Amino acid sequence: MTSREVQQTPQEKQQLYLEKVNQFFGQVKKWLPTPFETVQIENSLLEDKTGEYKTPILSIVKKDKPDDAVADLFPEGISFLTDDALIEIQGAYDEEEIIYMQENNRRYTVRNGEKCPMYEGFVQEGWYWITDLNKIRLITKDIFVELLNKVSGRSRFDEFV
């Protein structure tokens, strides 16, 4: 039996998901330009296919206006349909989803009689922005800034990158 065939308990899946979320939140903190900072709120109750558990929420704020969130990152848990890890990013003007993809959990569909990846754009394991019906983009600092600009409705981050 390979390690991929080993069945994880719901608690192990939750722990792995929380590790991925916290790692991503740590990266976001490093990517933010100086006038911005993050505020982490602990213990938001989440329920997904593995059960109930608590997750952090990350708010991005301008340092001089800490009560005015530019965007909030809400862990959404593990998808009931695809088993993928999800985070929703909400701003004043829009909301978007990001998904954690790895080679062994890629999904395929049939289009025009051919087996095709469900999402086009996979390059390596990591968090991806679902940009269109079947397209994803690996989140880098520049992609994250673009995502923040989209959900906040402004280009407020571009000048700081």
Local confidence band at 14 (pLDDT 50, 70, 90 cut-offs): very high
Question: Would you state the structure tokens that stand for residue 18, as one six-digit string?
Answer: 């929380």
> Do 149 and 142 meet the contact criterion of CB atoms below 8 Å apart?
no
Is the pLDDT confidence value at 5 over 50? no
pLDDT band at 27 (very low <50, low <70, confident <90, very high): very high
Query: How does 115-125 read in b/e, with b if 16+ C-beta sit within 10 Å?
Result: eeeebebbeee
pLDDT at 157: 60
pLDDT digits (tens, 9 = 90+) for 140-154: 999 999 999 999 887
CA–CA separation, 131 vs 128, rounded Å? 9
- What confidence score (pLDDT) does residue 3 get? 47
**55-110 pLDDT tens trace:** 999 999 988 887 888 899 999 998 866 678 999 999 989 999 999 988 777 777 78
pLDDT 10s digits, 120-138: 889 999 999 998 778 899 9
Say if CB 48 and CB 80 are below 8 A apart: yes
Binned at pLDDT 50, 70 and 90, residue 54 comes out as very high
Is the pTM higher than 0.75?
yes
DSSP 132: S
**What is the model's pLDDT at position 141?**
94
- The per-residue pLDDT for 102 is 86
